[in-house]
Structure 1
Amino acid sequence: MLALRPVQLTDLPQLQQLARDSLVGVTSLPDDTAQLRDKILASCASFDSEAQSNGQENYFFVLEDLAEQRLRGCSEILATAGFSEPFYSLRNRMFTSTSRELNIQHGVPALSLCHDLSGHTLLRGFHVDAALVGSAQAQMLSRARLLFIAAHAKRFADAVITEIVGYSDENGQSPFWDALGKHFFDLPYVEAERLCGLQSRSFLAELMPHYPIYVPMLPQSAQDCIGKVHPDGQEAFDILEREGFETNSYVDLFDAGPTLYARTSNIHSIAHSQTAVARLSATRTSGGQYLVSNDLLLGYRAIVAELDWLPGQPVPLDAQMLEALHVKDGSQVRLIAL
């Protein structure tokens, strides 16, 4: 059985292996022991805090195979993007120029450096074992974060965003970076993303042009990357799109990958998850697949379970499921159909 739980310091060696296997562009999962250790400690402090509003907390989760004690993925929630430094992105909007004398009005798409998205809650760090892509467990890795937000709403903002990794080829070359960012940094795309993971995206963003970049002046290969999802990032995109997230006019600073946005209260798993009492069942029931979690903080757990359940009724869970969720017969659980 696989279960999602908060990261622990003892996970560091396995977490670093996940970082090595993760997609280029997932800058929140650096392959660096010291950085990952600091991230784990910060997450532990966040789960242990008594926060009553969204601040600088980050909540890092791992997906564990309980039988093998092996990590199969990870995901994260940053309570407030841009809390301690601006959260930079590129705003993609029409720039309209007008000549009254010639009676001409013309619109040109332009990219502008901004930090409009600072203050929103940010989903990041999604990485799942390749063998689980397309599975219910991959859905859990992403969506269980949303059940956590539902259970602890005061800790998060009224809107949630996530950046999906943009296009790069099999050699790690990003046409968008090569056409834009590379002119301001003598760095390949992979190295720029690595530095973002190890340090901060702000120091790179501040060297980017602060005036509009007219899209038609970019090579066609770079234009084609704007809002384009990397094939290996499609899983993360599709899961959240089904949750009600939508693309907007913002793209990633380095690879022009799309940004997804949703009002917190409108997200499917938050708006439609239900709480019910867990009941010990001697046998596993057949029926639909559900994502089931407890509503704890530091002891948060989530699993996928096949249940024959009706709203308003107790949730039948066998002893193994109860143990994986760290709950007892009669405890409250939260669930949503997959």
Structure 2
Amino acid sequence: MIIRPVAMTDLPALQQIAVESGPGFTSLVDDLDFLTRKVQRSMASFGRTVHSPGDEGYLFVLEDPETSEIMGTTGIEASVGLRRPLYHYHRSQVVHHSPDLNLLRRLEVLNMCNHYTGCSEICTLFLRPGFRRAQAGKLLSRVRFLFMAQHPQRFANTVIAEMRGVSDESGQSPFWNWLSEHFVDLDFDTVTRMVGTGDNGFIADLMPRHPLYVHLMAKNARAVIGQVHEETRPALNMLETEGFRHTGYVDPFDGGPTVEARLTDIRTVSASIGCRVQVVDGVEPALDKWHTGGQGRILAISNSGVENFRATITAAARYLPSRNLLQVPVTLANTLGLSNHGQARFTDLTTARTDRRPVAIPICQQQEALHAHR
């Protein structure tokens, strides 16, 4: 399995993924013109010299090198809300209190906001059903953090992920069904398609501007606020392991939670290791033969490139911590475009946590730039 930047030749596969992912997966829609623009924008973003996050969108694909089939996709938006507003509902409480009558009531409300404008977003994660195998989902999720750790100047200090909310087998969202009944006469499939293609002007025009009192909503709509689609739960679990947390912001269409983390607090970002490369004829991957401090049995490894970014998982590599050196066999080095004395970055996929911090390219040295870009 190889992760690489998307190319125009991937359009048919992306369109198939848009169909397979179904309603609610707004970052890919079954629209060839939209997908073409998305690929073109991604290719331009990878080819751009960037000193601070702007209107870049990075789309990666997971490829089976033996068949050249596209197994899935994953992406990063460098700075959301710049081209078009990014709306959320914030879940909070209001207090109605009358001292004279000695009455007090706390009520849950949803307030429309643009809280995450300027943040980076990880998005577009989908592993096709026919290609679901060990480590594939982990690689799709965590490769984004390897790329962000290697190129932190391209991203904001806060990273978010909008998780797909609850919908039924027919693709209907209980949350949106209640909103559409009272405010916006559009079905859920139409709304997600409009939002996915960038047509979200109706939100400011038609959505209620005042707080929504949750207790007035239908019971099935209330029940899904902040909940994720069943197929999204593994992805949410992985992000929570990385340090992402839900702070009360939900999608205005399906009520799904948005989770957030500081870039430097994301586990894979902080624990990934930038290192030198040594290309060798062969590597003995057995854990008990590694030097003390070896980083695990299965590694996700990437090169240090942007346009020519490549990443994969392997057990055929060995890290020598005393020398900050990653030994990589020739075939793997050729696949990833690695050379002797070059740079790579890796993270351990098999351990729950590692205390090792980046060596060759420490994230802590990027703090001044990151804070200046917020």
Structure 2 length normalisation: TM-score?
0.86
| Structure 1 partner of 2:215 | 216
Asked if the contact 1:205–1:253 (Cα under 8 Å) also holds between the matched residues in 2, the reply is no
Judge which range, 214-223 or 133-142, deviates more.
133-142
Taking a change above 3 Å as real, the CA distance of residues 272 and 186 of structure 1, as seen in their structure-2 partners, is same
Q: How far apart are the structure 2 equivalents of 1:138 and 1:324? A: 20
**Matched residue type, 2:321:** P
1:329 Cα deviation from its structure 2 partner: 2.7
Q: How far apart are the structure 2 equivalents of 1:34 and 1:8? A: 15
| Structure 2 partner of 1:334 | 345
Q: How far apart are the structure 2 equivalents of 1:40 and 1:71? A: 14
Q: How far apart are the structure 2 equivalents of 1:205 and 1:241? A: 32
1:19 Cα deviation from its structure 2 partner: 1.2
1:319 Cα deviation from its structure 2 partner: 2.1
Taking a change above 3 Å as real, the CA distance of residues 277 and 189 of structure 1, as seen in their structure-2 partners, is same
1:76 Cα deviation from its structure 2 partner: 1.0
What does 1:88-103 correspond to in 2, within 5 Å? 88-103=87-102
Q: How far apart are the structure 1 equivalents of 2:46 and 2:9? A: 16
Judge which range, 308-317 or 237-246, deviates more.
308-317
| Alignment partner of 1:296 is 2:295 | no
1:309 Cα deviation from its structure 2 partner: 3.0
| Structure 1 partner of 2:294 | none
| Structure 2 partner of 1:116 | 115
| Alignment partner of 1:305 is 2:328 | no
1:77 Cα deviation from its structure 2 partner: 0.6
| Alignment partner of 1:135 is 2:134 | yes
Judge which range, 101-110 or 30-39, deviates more.
101-110
**Matched residue type, 1:262:** A
**Matched residue type, 2:99:** R
| Structure 1 partner of 2:20 | 21
Q: How far apart are the structure 1 equivalents of 2:38 and 2:155? A: 19
1:282 Cα deviation from its structure 2 partner: 2.4
**Matched residue type, 1:70:** E
| Structure 1 partner of 2:162 | 163
| Structure 1 partner of 2:195 | 196
Deviations 1:89-112 (A, max 9, x none): 111001112212123332111011
1:205 Cα deviation from its structure 2 partner: 4.9
| Structure 2 partner of 1:237 | 236
1:132 Cα deviation from its structure 2 partner: 4.7
SS in 2 for 1:309: strand
Q: How far apart are the structure 2 equivalents of 1:196 and 1:11? A: 23
SS in 1 for 2:29: coil
Alignment RMSD: 1.5
SS in 2 for 1:180: helix
Asked if the contact 1:181–1:208 (Cα under 8 Å) also holds between the matched residues in 2, the reply is no
Asked if the contact 1:6–1:59 (Cα under 8 Å) also holds between the matched residues in 2, the reply is yes
What does 1:43-62 correspond to in 2, within 5 Å? 43-62=42-61
Taking a change above 3 Å as real, the CA distance of residues 108 and 68 of structure 1, as seen in their structure-2 partners, is same
Asked if the contact 1:251–1:257 (Cα under 8 Å) also holds between the matched residues in 2, the reply is yes
Q: How far apart are the structure 2 equivalents of 1:232 and 1:20? A: 16
Asked if the contact 1:167–1:228 (Cα under 8 Å) also holds between the matched residues in 2, the reply is yes
Judge which range, 300-309 or 261-270, deviates more.
300-309
| Structure 1 partner of 2:334 | 323
Q: How far apart are the structure 2 equivalents of 1:230 and 1:33? A: 26
Asked if the contact 1:228–1:257 (Cα under 8 Å) also holds between the matched residues in 2, the reply is yes
Deviations 1:294-335 (A, max 9, x none): 111111111111144343442222222112211123321101
Q: How far apart are the structure 1 equivalents of 2:163 and 2:132? A: 16
SS in 2 for 1:24: coil
Identity over aligned pairs, percent:
35
Q: How far apart are the structure 1 equivalents of 2:308 and 2:220? A: 47
The number of equivalent residue pairs is: 337
Taking a change above 3 Å as real, the CA distance of residues 133 and 99 of structure 1, as seen in their structure-2 partners, is farther
| Structure 1 partner of 2:72 | 73
1:199 Cα deviation from its structure 2 partner: 3.2
Asked if the contact 2:120–2:160 (Cα under 8 Å) also holds between the matched residues in 1, the reply is yes
Q: How far apart are the structure 2 equivalents of 1:323 and 1:248? A: 43
Unaligned runs of 5+ in 1: none
